[in-house]
Each structure stands twice: as C-alpha cells, then as structure tokens.
Amino acid sequence: MTEPDRSRTVRIIGAGRAGGAMAEALAEAGWLVQPPLTRASPAEALRQAAADVDLVLIATPDAAVAEVAAAVEPSQSAVVAHMAGSLGLDELAAHRRRGALHPLVALPSAGLGARRLLGGCWFAVAGDPLIRRVVADLGGTAFEVAEADRACYHAAAVVASNHLVALLGQAERIASASGAPLDAFMSLVRATVDNVEELGPAAALTGPAARGDTGTLERHLEAIAPAERPAYKALSQQAARLAAAGAASRPTGAAGRAGAGRITPWRERTIPGMRKRLRAARAVGLEVGFVATMGFLHAGHRSLIEQARADNDVVAVSIFVNPLQFNPGEDYDGYPRDLERDIEMCADAGADFVFAPDADEMYPAAPATAVDPGPLADVLCGADRPGHFKGVATVVVKLLSIIGDCRAYFGEKDFQQLMIVRQVVSDLSLPVRVVGCPTVREPDGLALSSRNAYLSAEERAQAPILWQALNAGAELVESGETSPAAVQEALAAVMATAPLAQIEYAAALPAATLTADGPLRGEVRLLAAARFGHARLIDNIACRARAPR
C-alpha cells in the first residue's frame, strides 16, 4: 500500500458498499482515511466530521445526502462532497467548498469495488477542484456534468447498468422457454458490448430491426410469452429508431461518437429501399414525419424538418426536382441543385433519411396516369402555369405512396399548393396528416425561396415589395374593407412601386376555398406573385375581415 500523505485526508460518511470501496481505494491511492461515520453516528461526531480533514465524502443513499450534509458543521477549508449520481450541489448548500463525485462502475463489495475504482474508470464530477485531484489519484478519468443535467446523466447510467441487467433477465427467461441456458448467450453479449465500444451503438446494431425484417419481428412477438411482448416491442422500437438514424453512414469509433448529437441521414435512392426502411420503423410503432422538397434547401425547409423532428420518431426528407411540374421553357434544367449541401442541412435539422431518387427511378417511363386536382389548380399560379399543379399533385401522391402512413409538412408560403395537397389527401383517403407550417422570412420580410438565388442585387433590393404590399392589404381588410377588388387594387398599387416587379396577380380570397365568393368575410388569404428577372416569387398573408354590422 502507498504510504499515506497526511496532506490528503478524507472522512467518509456511509458504511455501505460505495463508502467501503471508496475508503479502500483512497487508502491504496495514498490518502489518509479517517475512521468512517454513518447516519447513526452521534450528532456531535457528525457535526465535527469536517474538522482536520481535506475532504468529507458522503456515501449515503441519495435521499439522505441533504440531511447528512446539514448535520456537518461548515468548514472554511474542508470540501464536503457526495457520491450521488442524480444530485447536484444544492444538497450541500451550507458548505462553501463542495463537490460531487460519481464513479461509473458497479461497486458490489468493498474489496471488488476498490479494485474497480482503481482500474481507470470514469467519474462524473462537479464543484471544487479537489474532486478532480481525487479522480487523478485513483487513476480515473473525470468529466464535468452540469447541475441541471445530473438527473439526465444518472438516467443514462441506470440504462447502461441496471436496465442492461434487466434486459439480460428477460433474455434468460425467453431462452429458458426454448431450452437454452443463459450461459450460451454470454459470449454474444460480450462481443456486442465490445462492438459498441469500438464502433458506437449505431454501427454496432445488427439483427432484424437493422435490416428492416418486419416478418422476423412479428414471428418473435408471436412466439414469446405475452408478458414478455411489451418489453420486446419497446426495445424493437429503440432498435428501429437507431437503424433509422442511418447507422451505416455514421462515422465509427471514438471520432464518430464525439459528434453523436449530429447524425448523417441515410441516403436512399430507390423506391423499394425507402419503403422497406419506413415499413420497418412503423412495424415497431414509430411515427414518421415527411418533408417533400426539390432541394437547394434553405432555412424555410429546415424549419419544416425541425418541426417534423419535434413531432415524430423518424423523419424522412425527399429531394427530387420533379419534371412534371415544369412547363416548356421554365427553369427545370437550370433549377439550383446541391445534394451534398442539402444532406448537410438535413443532418443539422435532424432528418433520419434522405430520399434522393433520380428521374428514371421516379418515372421509368412517361407516366400515363396523372392526378388532376380540379378547379383549384387553374387559378392564381395555375392560371399562369397550366398543368403545373397536376404535376405537383401527381408527384406528391407518388411520394406519399412511397413514404406511407405519416405526417407530411408543407410551408404556407406555397399556400395554394398546401390547399391542393390537403384536398388530394382528403379526396384519395391517403393515410397522411398534412401539417402546414409558417413562412420563414429574411429580416426585410422576403419569403425564403430557392428561386431567390436567381435575383440580382437590384432585384433582391426590390423583392420585399410583395411582403410590404400584403401587409398593406391586410391592414386594409382588418380596418373594414370587404371588397375583394378594392383590396386587390391596393395590393397591385404597392407592388407597382417596384420598377422591376412584373406583377402576375394580386388576390384577396376566402382562406378556406381560395374561390371568389362575394364580399370578404371571416378568414381571408391575400396572395401575390411577381417576376423579378428570371425569378418568379410568390407570397401570401392571413388576415380576418370584420363581421358585417
């Protein structure tokens, strides 16, 4: 044993396994360990616990830490610390120097626990610098956990230890039903843990959830005892969630785990592959969110992906420039594309999958079938772009048939498109919940659009006129104007003050139908479109007409 250095003196309160293991380990590391105390020690002994020591280490159950700390008379020089993983420093509020020290290792007995504490384990620490010195003396690795994050950190520790034991208990029960002993599975368990340490959880995942084998999962659920099914299904959901995060495309090893908060989405180019992966996620109860895009993503798209991430377990984003919605002479060939940049933005926003088919995958031959959205497709943008919304409706229905049961997120900037998508989903009884999301704007009000990239500096300076016109129109409606024609004239008059704006339309319509129906009543949507050079820009705003007196 190392000769004790009386400049490093500790008194431990708590005679359980943790306190005993820490006493043996610190003594081996060269600390002078004073006789331990317990919660049942005389009050005067507890009051004087911090006298003539450098460190008082409270190793009691979590519920007793605050009471024990309060019983110790504060010292100007001694550090009072606890070993509770879920508690912060507030439990030690009376003490000027305080800390927390939680070893990430099981301590089943004093002797075995001491060997593990001296075996290079990790410690979650907080507070006084002396706590890091303790870890260094034990030969361990310290990492800081903020006060607000202690409970979350401890939950992870419980999952990694206690829940793992419970999981092996379930494996033992299921194995025994087949006549197999638990020992037969232990080499598999050890290899799996080794793989996780080497590769990280996502890359180490194997099995039916990883490969989208829903048939095998269903056979398992049928075969095992009913009491085991809820836990098996819950764990299958977690495995599918991990698989959906794109295990195959994550960086591996320590470098990959260092950036585990940001996951590279799985890039899928085939329709069968996309269906298979999302089918596997839904098979274990995960909910899917979907964002359809034509790429060249901006902050508006990102907001849709982030909303899908907040609402769902799995998020898929499609990136496909749809030729069916471009008329002859429009900008299909010149439409901006940057797939690698788009995938980076999808990763930042939290997408799990990027579905990026080429035109041959989506349309191996010219489609003979099209989706006609009806009269709503022939007004506003449809009047200037005949056939455009038929192409939009056709590709949206095709994409939704590939993605399957989901929530689908569309921006309100393309309000007519949002209305058409809702109508088509309703008319065809698709298993989709359409979610409209607010328009994202530049500081000067210009609605974000991939086509803003076409604007020259002078055009960009004038483009916010659409938003200015819509706001002026909204003020007019909310002040009592109910004549659609008067509002439309006001919109056009403001837009005309931008010399480069080639006005296509200015409209004031009922928000529920976008169909002219006499004086404005209730919820109204003002819509505007104009060309600035090669860029065709659209925008809209919601307002409410006053009820007639």
Say whether both 391 and 342 belong to one domain: yes
pTM: 0.61
Q: Does 214 or 269 have the greater pLDDT score?
A: 269
Quick one: how many helices (H) and strands (E) in the chain?
A: 23, 16
The DSSP-derived string for 331-379 is: STTTS---HHHHHHHHHHHT-SEEE---HHHH-SS--S------GGGGS
CA distance 75 to 277: 60
| The pLDDT value given to residue 199 | 80
472-516: pLDDT as tens digits? 999 999 999 999 999 999 999 999 999 999 999 999 999 999 999
188: which DSSP letter? H
Say whether both 302 and 413 belong to one domain: yes
Q: Domain with 319 in it: what CATH number?
A: 3.40.50.620
59-111: pLDDT as tens digits? 999 999 999 999 999 999 999 999 999 999 999 999 999 999 999 998 889 99
Residue range 181-192: average pLDDT?
92
Say whether both 35 and 138 belong to one domain: yes
Find the radius of gyration of the CA atoms of the chain.
32
Q: Domain with 489 in it: what CATH number?
A: 3.30.1300.10
**What is the number of residues in the chain?**
549
CA distance 309 to 394: 26
Say whether both 297 and 428 belong to one domain: yes
Structural domain count of the chain: 4
Say whether both 105 and 217 belong to one domain: no
Residue range 190-213: average pLDDT?
83
In a domain, 549, yes or no: no
The DSSP-derived string for 218-247 is: HHHHHHS-GGGHHHHHHHHHHHHHHHHTTG
Please provide the average confidence, as pLDDT, over all residues in the chain. Answer: 90
| The pLDDT value given to residue 549 | 62
pLDDT greater than 50 at residue 314: yes
Say whether both 388 and 427 belong to one domain: yes
Q: Domain with 28 in it: what CATH number?
A: 3.40.50.720
Residue range 144-148: average pLDDT?
90
Domain, as residue range, for 232? 167-257
Last residue of a domain, one of 213, 238, 257: 257
Of the listed ranges 32-36, 199-203, 388-392, the least confidently predicted one is 199-203
Say whether both 376 and 473 belong to one domain: no
Residue range 443-461: average pLDDT?
94
CA distance 293 to 318: 6
Say whether both 390 and 360 belong to one domain: yes
Which own/partner pairs from 331-338 qualify as long-range (CB within 8 Å, at least 24 positions apart)? Answer: 331/451, 331/454, 331/534, 335/294, 335/296, 335/450, 336/295, 336/296, 336/450, 336/453, 337/295, 337/296, 338/295, 338/296
Contact 36, 12 (CB under 8 A): yes
Write the single-letter amino acid at 278.
L
In a domain, 157, yes or no: no
CA distance 549 to 371: 43
| % of the chain residues with pLDDT over 70 | 94
Last residue of a domain, one of 226, 257, 288: 257
| The pLDDT value given to residue 7 | 65
Of these residues, 82, 95, 301, 388, which one is catalytic?
301
Q: Domain with 208 in it: what CATH number?
A: 1.10.1040.20
CA–CA distances in Å: residue 509 to residues 259, 419, 520, 545: 49, 13, 7, 11
Last residue of a domain, one of 145, 177, 209: 145
pLDDT greater than 90 at residue 315: yes
Write the single-letter amino acid at 241.
R
Residue range 345-358: average pLDDT?
93
Tell me the two tokens of residue 88.
């912060």
Tell me the two tokens of residue 508.
């004031």
Neighbouring CB atoms inside 10 A of 486's CB total 15
pLDDT greater than 50 at residue 253: no
pLDDT greater than 60 at residue 257: no
CA–CA distances in Å: residue 118 to residues 30, 76, 136, 493: 12, 30, 10, 79
Q: Does 275 or 210 have the greater pLDDT score?
A: 275
CA distance 175 to 225: 11
Side by side, which strands form the sheet with 266-268?
Answer: 266-268, 353-355, 314-319, 288-293, 406-411, 432-437
| The pLDDT value given to residue 262 | 57
In a domain, 160, yes or no: no
| The pLDDT value given to residue 252 | 31
Say whether both 210 and 288 belong to one domain: no
For residue 500, count CB atoms less than 10 angstroms from its CB and return exposed for 0-12, middle for 13-18, buried for 19 or more. Answer: middle
- Tell me if residue 301 is catalytic: yes
Question: Sorting pLDDT into bands at 50, 70 and 90, what band is 216?
Answer: confident
pLDDT greater than 60 at residue 255: no
CA distance 543 to 480: 11
CA distance 446 to 326: 24
pLDDT greater than 90 at residue 413: yes
pLDDT greater than 90 at residue 139: yes
Which residues lie closer than 8 Å to 412 by C-beta, 6 or more apart? 418, 436, 437, 438, 439, 540
Question: Sorting pLDDT into bands at 50, 70 and 90, what band is 174?
Answer: very high
In a domain, 153, yes or no: no
CA distance 477 to 486: 10
Say whether both 339 and 301 belong to one domain: yes
| The pLDDT value given to residue 245 | 61
In a domain, 152, yes or no: no
Closest CA to 243 of 205, 190, 293: 205
Of the listed ranges 99-113, 122-136, 319-333, 500-514, the least confidently predicted one is 319-333
Say whether both 272 and 363 belong to one domain: yes
Question: Sorting pLDDT into bands at 50, 70 and 90, what band is 224?
Answer: very high
Residue range 445-451: average pLDDT?
93
Question: Sorting pLDDT into bands at 50, 70 and 90, what band is 332?
Answer: confident
Tell me the two tokens of residue 238.
């977690």
| The pLDDT value given to residue 478 | 96
CA count, 13 A, side-chain hemisphere, 398 = 22
In a domain, 382, yes or no: yes
In a domain, 442, yes or no: no
| The pLDDT value given to residue 1 | 45
| The pLDDT value given to residue 333 | 77
CA–CA distances in Å: residue 246 to residues 32, 156, 287, 314: 51, 22, 16, 11
Say whether both 307 and 356 belong to one domain: yes
| The pLDDT value given to residue 517 | 86
Closest CA to 16 of 47, 39, 45, 50: 39
In a domain, 521, yes or no: yes
